[in-house]
Each structure stands twice: as C-alpha cells, then as structure tokens.
Structure 1
Amino acid sequence: MERKRFISTIAAVTLLPSLFLAACKDAAKKDSAAAEKQTYTCPMHPQVIQEKPGTCPVCGMDLVPFDKNNKELSLTLGESQIALGNITTLVVGQGALSSFKQLNGRLVTDPEKTTVISSRVQGRIEALYVKETGVKINKGQPLYKIYSEQLAALQQEYLLTAAQARQFPDDARFQQIEKAARQKLVLYDQSDAQIKQLLQSQRVSPYVTYPATESGVVAELSVTEGQYVSEGGAVMRLEGYHQLWVEADVYPAEAQTVAVGQKVKVVVAGWENDPQTMTVQFINPAFQSGSQLMQLRGTVPNPDNRWQPGLQANVLLPVKSTGNVLSLPVDAVIRDGKGAHVWLDTGAGKFEPRRVTTGIENFDAVEITKGLEDGDKVVVTGAYLLYSEYMLKKGADPMAAMGK
C-alpha cells in the first residue's frame, strides 16, 4: 500500500512541470491573439472604438483600423505627407511681445466730408436732376433747376445798371452801382459766364440751374420737383466716403491706457488680414447717453470706397508690453479643456507633442512661459493636422498621453 502511494506521488511530481509549461504556452498564445486582434475607430470621433469593422454610431462614417498598443508619442510622416499637409516649422527665440485689448467699434461718416447743398434763392424746384439717394455726384454736375422771381428781378436790375454805366462811362457813381448789382448776382451763385451771357442776350430768365459744389454720394434728398424752397433751404446732403471715422466704446478704466495722439490698430470685419493704423484724435470726456461707456475716435483712409459706414471695426488697444519672451504664432498652439500643446519637429520626419503654458497674447502671437526653450523647432502651420493624425492613429488625445 505504501509502495503504491509512493509511486503515485513520484508520477505527480514528474508531470507537474509539463502541465505548467503547457498552461504557460496556452496563456502566451491567448495574449498573442489578443495583442494581434485589430481595433477600429472613427476618424471624426476617436472615442468610438470597437474590435470589428463597422460604421460610427455618431456620424455614420466607416471605421478605420488603428493600433491601440502603439504607445509612442511621436508621429512619423514622409516628405510627401509633410508637403501635402503644408507643415512648416519655426525655431523659437526670445523677443518683445505686446498685448492688446480689443474695443468694439464701428465705421461712421466723417462730418468733415459731408456737404449740404442749399438753395441760394427763394423759389420753386422746376427740375430735380438727381431723384434718389446712393447716387454718386461729381463736382460741377447739374443738380436742380429753380424758378425764382427774385433772381429775375436782380438780373433786370443788373441790365439797367450796366446800361447806365455804358451811357455814362465817366460817372463813378454809375460804375459803383453796376458793380453792386453784379455782386448781388455773384452772391446768388451766378458765374462769370452766366453774367456774360445775360449781357449778350439782354434777356432775363427766372430759371437758373445750380451745379454740385463738391463731389460725393447723395445721402438725403430734402425736396421734390414742384416744391417751394426758401433762401438757404436744404436741397440734398452729399457724403464723402474716401475717409471714415472710427468710433470705439471705452470703459473708464480702459480710458486711462489711451491718449490723444496714440497710434492703435483697427481691424474691419471681413478684412482681418489688412489691419489699419489709426491715430486717436478725440476721447469724449462724458459718458454716452444711457450707458457707462466713453468713446474714442479717429479717422482711417477708405481707398476705392471699399468700406461702408456702419461696418463693425475692432480697435486693438495696446495695454502691456513684455521683452525677452518666447512667443509663437497663435495658430501654432492647440488648446482644449486639458490645456495647451504644440508640436516639435525632432528630425527625420518625426513630430512630437509638447505640453506648454501660455502667457499674454495679442492678435498675432502668444507668449510661451513654460514647455519650450530657445532653439526648439516648432510646427507653426499644420499643427491641427498632426493633432488629428495622432488621434486617428493612436486612438487617444496627445494631452492624455503626455500626462500631467
């Protein structure tokens, strides 16, 4: 009995290593099969991951394969991929950086370029040659014809005094009377050519056509044909748009950082790539009615009348300047709820994400206070393409892969 028990024990001990090795081999095969199992994700929604082909439950796009076991932070791209993605780099270095505060503003008509056309005589508008607003007017262009009995009386008076002056050329008194009558016609906008024509024809006409004294665009019509107007009554208003005012709203605390004569940048909506430089000409010392806002004003040129009054314009007010800082173009920094990062070119087509901390920022650049050093080669265009490529290939956010 003891002999049988001894033999069974020896057999069990002998077979145990073989069974252990077999179990290890089976486990290794299972791990290898699990590692080789392909996973799939959505190009637009990388949070969608499954172990078989299909479509995205969010957007319906076909899922694409990716390697979830690849834990490398870097991406490797070929020369054609870099060229196609327009990936460019910049070696960062220290320099000065200014911060701007954005003020809400608008373009308005410059009153100095506004002309009111008024009637120089009392009478009836016989003909109106411009009958709608928005029409461009050139200087000297006929605007309206007026019937005026008062003008006819002045013309008759001048013909009589001119005849007396010719009949008595040596009488200074008649000469002075003739000059006074002529001056009255001049004050009623009668040109030398019109007065000369009156003398030649010897015919009085109660009708007179008035030309535009300035060029501009008709902004308002105050009369219609057949309407009587008084002397000095408004006929129309012309506005010139080749120069415009920029008015911006300023809080009292911000007003302390700007002064008359200071130069600021103006960005017109739709022309963000063409900022204008404006000199502050006036700061209203009183609040606007019904608000706690002050107002600053300046002028900007308007070549070819490409801008219209009423367009939104942002005024960039410099509020802080820092020297010897590392800065990057704004588009080089990718931000999300987890923080900010940039992409470094580490050579041989490899790109690696780097967590950074940002500081002051302006319209074009952002300060990097932590994460970069002088001489680092940073991607400035195509950073979002690298971010998307990483999400697609790795199936994870690079910020999460970098850790805290």
Structure 2
Amino acid sequence: MRTLFIFIALLSVLAACSEKRPAAGHADHAHEQPKPAPEKYTCPMHPAVVQDGPGKCPICGMDLVPKKAGIELMLSENQMRLANITTAAVASQPVGQTIVINGKLALNEEGSSVISSRAAGRVEKLFLKETGRPVKKGEPLYELYSETLLTLQREYLLAKAQYDALGKENPRYATFLKSAEQKLLRYGLTPAQVDQLGKSKVFKERITFLAPASGLITSIRVAEGQYVEEGAALYQLENIGTLWLEAETYPQETSLVKVGDMISVRVNGYEATPVEAKVTFLSPEYRANTVVTVLRATLANPNEIFKPGMQAQVLFTHSSRQALALPTDAVIRDAHGAHVYVQTLPGTFEPREVETGLEDFGKVEITSGLSEGDTVAVTGAYLLYSEIVLKKGGDPMAVHQHE
C-alpha cells in the first residue's frame, strides 16, 4: 500500500512539470521581439551617401533625408550629366493628331542666276570644274585673258599718272580717273582689284574673276583654253539660301492647308530638328480618277545644311486641343503599358504608370497618372529604364505591380 502511494505521488509531480514547461517556453518566445531595421538616410545632392539615422552630408553639409523605399534610382549630378538626363515640369499645351506626307527638297528657281563673261577673251583657268559644288561670294571662279581688259587697264594707269602729276592744278584729271575706274568696275573687276592696280602700277594680262554671289554650281558651260564672246554663259549658279519643298496631297489632306500657312517639315537626317516652311503654291491636278494637289512651300536654309534632292516629310497636325502633354521620348512603352520617370528628390527618380491619349510628332497627351507641375525626365528616360531593369532583374512596372 505504501509503495502504491509513492508511485501515485511521482506521477503527479511529472504531470505538473510537463504542464509548466510549455508555458515557460511560450513565455520566452513572447519576449523575443525582432528588432526593426534602422531607417536609412541619404543626401538629396549626393545619393551615394547613405547612413543609418539623420545627420549631415560629409560632402556638401546638407541635412540628410529619409531614403524612400520602393523602386527608385538615385543618381549623382555627374551621372545625370553624362547620361544627358534632363527634366521638365508637366504642363498643359496643344496636342493633336499628326498626318505625315512624303516630299522632297528642290531648287528655288527664283534664286537661279547665270555667270557670264564680262569681256571677250580666252579662258585661261577654271578654279571650279565640277557641278554640285557650293561656292561662296568672292571666291575665285576663272581667269580671263582679254585685249579689252588690257586696254582698259592701260587707260586707268595713264589717267592715274596724269591725276597724280596734274590733278591738284586741274580738277578735270580727277574726272578722267573716275571714268577709267568705272569702266573697269563695269567689266567685273572688284574695287580691291582696281585699288591694287593703282598701287602696283602694273597691268595684268590675266584677270581673276570672283563669284558675285554664294550658291551651288549646277552647270559649267566652258572649258579651259576656250575663247568666249562678251556675255557668253560660263556657270549656272543656284542660291540655296532658300529651297522649295514639293509634295503631293490628296483631298482629305488638302483641306488641312492653304496658301500662306506655315507647315512643319522634317528633313531626312535632321529628324530631331523640324523646321518651318511657308506654303506658296497649291495646284490641283486630275490623276488616275482622283484629284492630287501639288504643294510647294519655301523653306529657309541660311546655313545651307539642306541640299536639293533630300527627302522630307510634311507634318500636318489637326484636332488640336489643350491637354497635359510630354515629349514623346519621355514616355516608355512596354508590354505592361506606358510609364514615365518622376523626379521625387534631386537626383532621385521613380517609375510611374500613365495613360496616354492623342499624339503628334513631338508630344503625347497624358490622360492619367500625372498632375500639372510634376517633374519628369524628358531626355534619358530609356537609360533610366535600362538601369532599373538591370538592378531589379525585370520590367520596372511589372516589379512595381507585384510589390
């Protein structure tokens, strides 16, 4: 009986111990709380500076700000400059549908001129022997041997000698000198050439004639050693300071333009810088059972970077309206839609999904996702996109949606 009592007492003690152990273990786990990660702070001007807790930037001394979590890129000023990343505020501006019509640049026939021989003689030398070459005003064109010019030079030198000797006593010698000088000028010599003749007092058998204007040589009608009459055509010169743009439009396009309108033109090879041209001529023609209107516009070419024969596109914009818009290069399109890169802090960008509407040659309407005044990367957006893809290992908007 005593043995049974001892056995029951031992069982009671073991049961009490087994009940206390889980409670103690549970209490221990309840007190073990994970420590939160310290908040990161960074410098708005030097994103590479990151530390735990607030403080001062060791580079510029600015107050550090909390580093935002999520998908974002932080770039230094030097990185933004090297990547050509520029920003602009979202603003309301006109945007509409754009129709593109192919055209071609042509010579402006109003600027055509012929360079002819000023005197009868023999062409001793041609300085320009190929067509299609641009020439500047005052550039040498050809050398001419002319008996007429030899006689006029002698007359000038004689008149000058008489004026130098007797001009102070008799004013009429000044008149003789002026008359001899005017003859040389009318035969194509420049004032500088006449002045040099008076100083050297030696006449030249071969006179060099200079280009009277700048332009493009489209025709050469003489050869070296050839004898030419006075007034004979030597060169055909085209002024390319202005060019014609020629295109053909159909009825649905002709209604968008009229004579006097300024139109936007994009020349192949210079697509990034569209230029304006003024419509000067519209001529309807009947072809293949439809009406085709030939359009001609005058395009300024002050630096002569455009050449006749270049292909171009005419951009007609219609249905224009005021809306929030961005340059087309600022909007990145992929399988998940469209997004832009919003600047949240200096040097810090994050992708933001947007919806687009009307789009013309240079702008795209933003219908949702942005507010007026938001600062967006307008150049270099694709570099930001590539950087996020490399860092996140996938599409930035897909990662954003999963997060």
The TM-score by the shorter chain falls in which range?
0.5 to 0.7
Distance 1:300 1:385 in 2: 35
For the residue of structure 2 that corresponds to 1:400, the secondary structure is: helix
Distance 2:187 2:92 in 1: 69
**1:74 aligned residue:** 70
**1:258 aligned residue:** 257
Structural RMSD (CA): 4.8
For the residue of structure 2 that corresponds to 1:286, the secondary structure is: strand
- Aligned-pair distance for 1:139? 7.5
- Aligned-pair distance for 1:82? 8.8
Distance 1:213 1:130 in 2: 11
Deviations 1:53-94 (A, max 9, x none): xxxxxxxxxxxxxxxxxxx99324445389545655444343
- Aligned-pair distance for 1:258? 0.7
User: Is the Cα contact below 8 Å between 2:125 and 2:225 reproduced in 1?
Assistant: no
- Aligned-pair distance for 1:288? 8.0
Change (3 A) 1:90 1:82: farther
For the residue of structure 2 that corresponds to 1:391, the secondary structure is: helix
Distance 1:210 1:93 in 2: 60
2:214 is the counterpart of 1:218: no
Distance 1:131 1:93 in 2: 54
Which of 129, 133, 138 matches 1:132?
129
Distance 1:357 1:114 in 2: 52
Distance 1:214 1:288 in 2: 43
Change (3 A) 1:319 1:232: farther
Say which is worse superposed, 362-371 or 341-350, in terms of deviation. Answer: 341-350
**1:392 aligned residue:** 390
- Aligned-pair distance for 1:326? 1.3
**2:357 aligned residue:** 359
Distance 2:126 2:377 in 1: 62
Change (3 A) 1:289 1:146: farther
Distance 1:337 1:316 in 2: 29
**2:300 aligned residue:** 301
- Aligned-pair distance for 1:262? 0.2
User: Is the Cα contact below 8 Å between 2:267 and 2:313 reproduced in 1?
Assistant: yes
Deviations 1:248-300 (A, max 9, x none): 34333211101110011233334445433221111232268999854322222
Distance 1:347 1:142 in 2: 62
For residues 3-402 of structure 1, what are the structure 2 equivalents within 5 Å?
74-78=70-74, 80=76, 83-84=79-80, 88-117=86-115, 129=126, 132-133=129-130, 134=133, 136=135, 138=137, 214-216=212-214, 217-224=216-223, 234-286=233-285, 294-323=293-322, 325-346=323-344, 351-401=349-399
Sequence identity of aligned pairs in percent?
A: 39
Change (3 A) 1:230 1:365: same
- Aligned-pair distance for 1:209? 9.1
For the residue of structure 2 that corresponds to 1:385, the secondary structure is: helix
Structure 1 residue identity aligned to 2:394: A
Change (3 A) 1:327 1:109: same
Structure 2 residue identity aligned to 1:391: V
For the residue of structure 1 that corresponds to 2:306, the secondary structure is: coil
Structure 1 residue identity aligned to 2:262: K
- Aligned-pair distance for 1:245? 1.7
Distance 2:125 2:359 in 1: 56
- TM-score when scaled to structure 2? 0.54
Distance 2:87 2:187 in 1: 70
- Aligned-pair distance for 1:111? 1.0
**1:159 aligned residue:** none
For the residue of structure 2 that corresponds to 1:303, the secondary structure is: coil
- Aligned-pair distance for 1:234? 4.9
Change (3 A) 1:341 1:213: closer
User: Is the Cα contact below 8 Å between 2:74 and 2:349 reproduced in 1?
Assistant: no
- Aligned-pair distance for 1:126? 6.2
Say which is worse superposed, 311-320 or 374-383, in terms of deviation. Answer: 374-383
Structure 1 residue identity aligned to 2:249: V
Structure 2 residue identity aligned to 1:116: V
User: Is the Cα contact below 8 Å between 1:137 and 1:218 reproduced in 2?
Assistant: no
Distance 1:247 1:97 in 2: 26
Aligned residues: 283
**2:11 aligned residue:** none
Distance 2:277 2:72 in 1: 47
Say which is worse superposed, 230-239 or 253-262, in terms of deviation. Answer: 230-239
- TM-score when scaled to structure 1? 0.54
Unaligned runs of 5+ residues in structure 1 are 1-13, 15-20, 22-71, 152-185, 192-207
User: Is the Cα contact below 8 Å between 1:115 and 1:214 reproduced in 2?
Assistant: no
Change (3 A) 1:389 1:108: same
Structure 2 residue identity aligned to 1:246: L
Change (3 A) 1:338 1:239: same
Distance 1:348 1:267 in 2: 35
Distance 2:298 2:255 in 1: 21
Unaligned runs of 5+ residues in structure 2 are 1-14, 16-21, 23-67, 149-182, 189-205
Change (3 A) 1:380 1:213: closer
- Aligned-pair distance for 1:335? 0.9
Deviations 1:93-115 (A, max 9, x none): 43332443333233221111112
**1:45 aligned residue:** none
Distance 1:238 1:400 in 2: 61
User: Is the Cα contact below 8 Å between 1:73 and 1:398 reproduced in 2?
Assistant: no
Distance 1:362 1:242 in 2: 29
- Aligned-pair distance for 1:322? 0.6
Structure 2 residue identity aligned to 1:393: K
User: Is the Cα contact below 8 Å between 1:124 and 1:226 reproduced in 2?
Assistant: no
User: Is the Cα contact below 8 Å between 1:125 and 1:224 reproduced in 2?
Assistant: no
- Aligned-pair distance for 1:355? 2.5
